[in-house]
Amino acid sequence: MEMTDIAAAPRIVLTGFEPFDQDRINPSWEVARALDGAQIAGGVVHALQLPCVFGAAVETLHQGLVQWQPSLVVCLGLAGGRASIMPERVAINMDDARIPDNAGHQPIDVPVVRDAPAAYFSTLPIKAMVRQMREAGVPAAVSNTAGTFVCNHVFYALMHRLARRAGPGVRGGFIHVPALPQQAAQQAGMPSMGLEVQVLGIRAALHAAMTVQHDVHETAGQLH
């Protein structure tokens, strides 16, 4: 068996958020933690937890990128109410918080980065990721909005950084995951997905991001 030289292997930074909005768990971190150290398509996953705080989340992410110098950066977040794992297509330059973050801040209608572009597209192969997740038996669809809370904030800051500083080889983007069954059990009617299925899906998505150079062109949206 051929052994991967771990030290020389490309690094994948996979972030998840701490719990927020009075929740005790955040599936995005549980998934990232479960995949920490995993080898996927020759890359090694480094999990990093981000605070659910405007500004501080970006600082923590930037420290991780400096430390690990990854070739792939995928940030995860919870989107309660969604039934599928959803790679996000676009990050917008807008903070507009519906609720305060974990530090009590609630920015309204302010840019993530002043005098910067209105939006960035993900540089992940989002449709190939959806295809490979579906082939693995995991509900998945492309999303066209990451919202305007801390998830979009981190996503925008990541894409702004990659567009300006990193070499053209570094790919990055954001994926929203559904609530866990134990979270949905508190709110009648909320869709959910078990942790093992989420981990299977994100593993497939990372595999696609590591192996697919040019995205496929096919419909990959929600059924409704």
92 binds ligand PCA (CB under 6 A): no
Is residue 218 annotated as a catalytic residue, yes or no?
A: no
| Contact yes or no for 26/78 (Cβ under 8 A) | yes
Q: Of 77, 173, 178, 201, which lies in the binding site for ligand PCA, with binding defined by CB under 6 A?
A: 77
Residue 154 to residue 146: CA distance in whole angstroms? 10
* Parallel, antiparallel or unpaired: strands 11-17 and 72-78: parallel
28 touches ligand PCA by CB under 6 A: yes
Closest CA to 70 of 175, 176, 210: 210
From the CB of 18, what's the least distance to ligand PCA, in Å? Answer: 8
Is 151 an active-site residue? yes
Min. distance of Cβ 99 from ligand PCA in angstroms?
Answer: 10
Q: Is 151 in the site for ligand PCA (CB under 6 A)?
A: yes
| SS3 (DSSP) at 220 | coil
Query: For 179, which DSSP code?
Result: B
Active-site residue flag, 224: no
What is the Cα–Cα distance from 57 to 69, expressed in whole angstroms? Answer: 18
20 is a contact residue toward ligand PCA (CB under 6 A): yes
Annotated catalytic residues are: 88, 151, 176
Interface positions with ligand PCA (CB under 6 A): 17, 20, 26, 28, 52, 77-79, 147, 149-151
